[in-house]
Structure formats: C-alpha cells, structure tokens
Structure 1
Amino acid sequence: MSDPGLRRAVERVASPLGDPELLTARLAWSALAEPGDSVSGRLVAECGPVAALRLVEDLATGVPTPEIPGVTPQELTTSLRRWQPRLDARMFESLAVVAVKAGLAVLTPEGPLWPERFEDLAEHAPLALWVRGEPAALGGLDRSAALVGARAATPYGEHVSATLAGELAEQGVGIVSGGAYGVDGAAHRAALGVQGTTVAFVAGGADRVYPAAHAHLFARIADGGAVIAEVPPGGTPTKWRFLMRNRLIAAVSAATVVVEAGWRSGSLNTAGHAAALGRPLGAVPGPVTSATSEGCHRLLREFDATCITRASDVLELVGEWGVGDDRTGADRPRPEAIRVLDALAVRAWRTLDDIARRSGMSLAEVQAELGLLELDGRIESSLDGWRLHR
C-alpha cells in the first residue's frame, strides 16, 4: 500500500510502533481478515505483514499463486476471494482518520505492550488491536482474571461478580471482561470503584458503544483502563465476532472465572477457550434451582473447573499461572451461515457484493450459503437482493 494519503493518515495514528509501513500493513490486515482467520495468521507469520500484504495485492492483479510454506495454493486462492472486496487503500485511509478522531491507538505484535499470552493462540492470534484508553493497561495484565457470565444476570450473580472483582482489584489483579450487561458490567464497575485496572474486550469497533446504555461505563473504563477491539473502528458487533472475541478474553487473562451462566450461555464459549489454552478455569456455584447457574454447575461437574466462593480462590488460580455447546455437530449452526446471517437485515435488501463485504467472505462462499439459508426458510430473495425472513 504505497498510497500517499494512506501513508499520511497512518502516520497520525497513535501507536508505540515506530514503523509506518509495518503499521499500515497491520492496520490493513486488521480490516481485511475476520477475527481468528487462520490463513491470514499463517501467511503473516510466514512472510511478515508487509510482504504478505504485497502478495495479496499482486494476487488480486492476476499474478500466479506462489508456493508459501504452511499455506496451500487452494487456501490462498479461496481466502483472496474473501479479502478482495476489502482490499481498498481509501478504506484503510478512512479507518486511520476515524481512529485519530476517536482517539484510538493501535497495538501490534512487533511493538511494546503486546501481551505474550496471545502467542498461545498461534495462527488464530489477533493481527492488531485497536485501543480506546490507556494502551499500557493491556500490557499490565500479567496478574489478571477474566470474570464473565450471563447478561441477564440475577441479583445474586451481579453481587458475586462485584464482590470478587472489587476484592481482586484491591489486591492488584487486573479485571478482564466483555463490557456487557449483567456479570460483565458489575465486574467492571466494582474494579473502577476501588480504582483498580479493568479492560473490556468488545466485539465491534472500539469507537462504538455496545450496549448503548454502557456509554458512561465505557468512558470510565477508558479513563484508567482500556476498551479493546480486534476489528477496526466502526466494526459491527456480530454474533460471530462475539464468539471470536471470547478467545482474546481467555488468552490474555491468567485465569477465567464464570460467575453465572445458563446451560447454553456464551460464557461457556470463553470457558472452552480457556480450557483449550491450558488456563486455570473456575466457576461460581449457584442455587440448584436456578437456570442461570446451570452452566456453572456443568463446568464444575464435566470440565473440572475449580469451585469459586471467594476472591482468595481466584487468587490461587491466578497464582498458578505466575465448554461448550450441548448441541450435536449436525445441529450446530455453521460458522459461515452465522456470518452471512449477521450481514443481513430484516427490512433492507442487500446485494451479493454488500453481503460479501460485510461478512468477510468470498462471493462464491456467500452465494452457496445464501442458497442453503433460503432453502431453510431463514432468508428470502428478490430482484433487489436478500434479507432475513420476516
């Protein structure tokens, strides 16, 4: 990306990385690939972000696909179809401009403050992070705990979350969560209440506030901690991105504690990532009659989670470092279908090109999923495009 306007815009972006060309490439990859994209992760690891971006630009002009160790030509060709709708220097420039206006900083693996724990995600590690607030907060999570749980938390769940977060933050433990209603919000507020460090990993852009009612909370978090996103400014917090966001929460934290969760809670996805990464995992028990504690009881029974009843239990887990979905594979929604559905609306008709851009998939992949989803009755089509079935 040798566009002069892009270069000037990127040079204004706050980042501890002193290499504008490398920062441009990292910014571009953050926009090109969806979170967790393994092909982009392997390509960047093998070639470096700058050379990998040049390769993609060359391939887009019709240059023959080369042999890249760790990435098959078929994978590269398929991925190029996903990335090409977003391969636009003007779009990258606009992202840099928005980041400057919103006061966002960009962190990369080559610069300081990047948590080493992300290396455990291997090819699924984030390519860059957009930070609203204090970037140093992300670099200070060696002693940290993720407190996650139900959005529709009970008073019991919010009370336990606040108690744990407040006591842990008072003892210098960074509190990591997702900025949502319920357990997440209670944990962030309690940490702020004792002047502790807390960071929120969000599924959309760091310049957006989701949920909207947490605008004041996000502003408070950014004052001394950080609101962190893997997707560029303006990014929509889709279901797929929420699932991918959870791996960052689990990876960056020394331990993960599920405070309150139903049988199919998204918090179990975070717990699954923590277990897969070898991070200590805890769960807070609740009343056996409470549906909102069924997920925690499942973690205790089936996943050997540590029973958490007080802050000292969490400190033991943190010190050690210093899931699931009950549906069958046939019943579980395909990741590609989730991404296409996320890109559609109920009222607005959207074209094939628009859906591909929003989902980060190739035109062929989107077209195949649209056909299956229409057969399932999930979407409808017309001469104007596609939309969710009313």
Structure 2
Amino acid sequence: MTDRRSDVVKHDPAAGAAKTGVPTQEALEAHLAPYAAHSAQSRGRRFPEAAPSARTEFQRDRDRIVHSTAFRRLEYKTQVFVNHEGDLFRTRLTHSLEVAQIARSVARNLRVNEDLVEAISLAHDLGHTPFGHAGQDALNECMREHGGFEHNLQSLAVVDDLEEHYGAFNGLNLCFETREGILKHCSRENARRLGALGERFLEGRQPSIEAQIANVADEIAYNNHDVDDGLRSGLLTVEQLAEVELWQVHYEAARSDFPQIEGRRLIHETVRRIINTLIVDLIDTTKLNLDRHTPTSLDAVRAAPALVAHSETIAAQAAALKRFLFKNLYRHYRVMRMANKARRVVAGLFDAFTDDPRLLPPGYQSTDALQQPRLIAHYIAGMTDRYAVKEYQRLFVIDDN
C-alpha cells in the first residue's frame, strides 16, 4: 500500500457556486477554527477526482464509508459478545455509531471538522476480524511469518484497496486526513512502507485534532458500553463495580436524584452520567491545551504534543475502569471460552486455506506464494462472525442430511 497521494483536482469553487447557488466548501466550513482540518486544504486523494458539489470532501468520505460493504458487515461482527449470544449486545456497527456520536459532540464544541471526525469514527473498525480481539490475535499469530496482522492497517487496506465500488480505482479513494485518522498505530517498518501517511510515526508528530478526538471517543464508547453489556449479560454485577470510583460516584448520584428507579433504568442513568462527565472533561481539558499551545493551523497541531486529553483526575478514573473490565469482563471464564472457540475457527480456516488455496474463492487465490497468505488474511478478516462459523462447518463438518 505505497502512498500514491495526489492533490484534489483544482477548480474554482466560487465560480461554480455563482452559477449554481450551491455553497462552496469554504462557505460550508467557515465556522471552523484555524486549527481544524479544512476540506479545501486537504492533502488530497490517491487518485485525482473532481471536487464534489453540495458537500465537502470529508462529507464525501463519510458517505462512501457508510455505503461500503465493509461497513454493512460490522453489523455481524463482535464487540465483546459473539453475535449469536444476544440481539441487544453491541456489535462493531453500533459501537462505530456510538463513537461517531461522541466524537461529533466533542468536535462541535471545539469548532473542528465534524464531518472528518465522523468519517474517521465510522471507518476505524472496518478492518476488524470476526470474533473481536480474539479473532485478531489468532489471525496475527497465523500471519506471524508473513508480516503479521493489525486491524488498523487492515482498515486502511479496506478503504485503499479491498472495496470494489468505483470504476476508476480500487478502494474508496478517501482523503489523506481520513486515512491518517484511521491509522491510529503503526510500526516503524510499516510506517516507512506507507510513505507520506506513515511520516508522523517516524517523526513523532501528531495527527489532526479530529483524529485525536475519534481515538479518545473510541475508548469512551467501548469502556462504558462494555460495562452496560457486561451487566446485561450477568458477567458483571453492580456490587463488583462498587470498587470503581468512576462508576460508584455516578451510581450513588443517580440513586440520590431518582430514588424510585432500579434495575436497567438505574444502570442506564449511571452510564449516561459517566459518559457525559468524560465528554465534558475532555472538552474542557482540550480547550485548556489549545489555549496553552495556541495552534493556528493544522500543521501547528501536528507539531504540538497530543492536545485532546482528559484531566489527570478523570484520566486516572477512566484507566481504573479499563483495568476493572480487563480483569473482570474480558478475562471472565465465559468470555475466555468463546475466545478460545474463536481462535480455533480462525486458525482452522487459515490452515485449511494455506494447505490448499483452491478452497478459496477465485478472487483470493494467487500463483504468488508470498502474496497468498495476505490474501487469506483479507478473506478471513472480511468475514462476519456467523459467516466464519458457517465457513468452518463447510470445511470441517460432514453433514449427513
């Protein structure tokens, strides 16, 4: 995935607006702060395209993501609980929508680009395997001798190459800034391979404010909604959560304000208050950081330390909640049992396809032995939970019917 960046095709937006009455991209983003990412100043797309009318470049990115095949598949990909375990648990799709909602709220208060932050939020999990982190760990182990597997890089591969919606190019041909936000982590080796997109990892620079917001919004969403799902599943109890300060403070406040409520209503009220506290603190602390560093452009944001952050007190409380979830939910024996099954499915599929690539659909078969493992990883990563299970059964289970 060598970065083949080119600038957006130049045009005269003012002239077009005068003829059609459609506002220019500059007019649509006139309210943004100088440190925000502006569509008209984007570093462009890999393949040149005429500028959109009636929407900005980042709105076009968001729309392409929403209409992509990979985005639809998120509905049947695991967050923590595998899809068949219940209809009310979070999936990658509902998680992505929740991240986008939180991120847009923060972006609006900071006067940065809501469309960009939404595009990044909706795309950040496109490369996730079936079965959540257990599936990713299993696929990474299978790919150890072939460059490994990392879902951020896979999300980038999806939007750069794997989607097949457009006649002129593979992928979605997203703006540089959207692709940058999708890539939250990257090894130095991969960063060098990615060219301009990987430079910030080599130079120790930051991504846009919008990318930073999406990253923190992701943590806010999954920590708090995993609490909700953990309680709903019965794997966590309110009594256990009493040891977590961030939970207990808001739980007691909710009980005090609404002594008549209990059960699910009390849990929802508590989680709602926690999320609100985290968002407000994030906005307030980030505003202080912006005032302290006074960035006057996106380039100044890149050169500054990370600006989007919580206060020390709230950051410590959020970290304690994260540690609690790791110990009591993600390492719960029932979750570990399902994770073990997931690893067996992913590893079994990979081994079967490696032993005989003719079992793969034609588009994933290659005469290049070095390329074949990556194509297998692409195929498995694109599966939903239930498709992976069915594929495993088709390969290994003899049906007498």
Same fold (TM over 0.5): no
| Larger-Rg structure | 2
Give 1 or 2: higher helix fraction.
2
Q: Could you say which structure has the higher strand fraction?
A: 1
- TM-score, normalising length from structure 2? 0.30
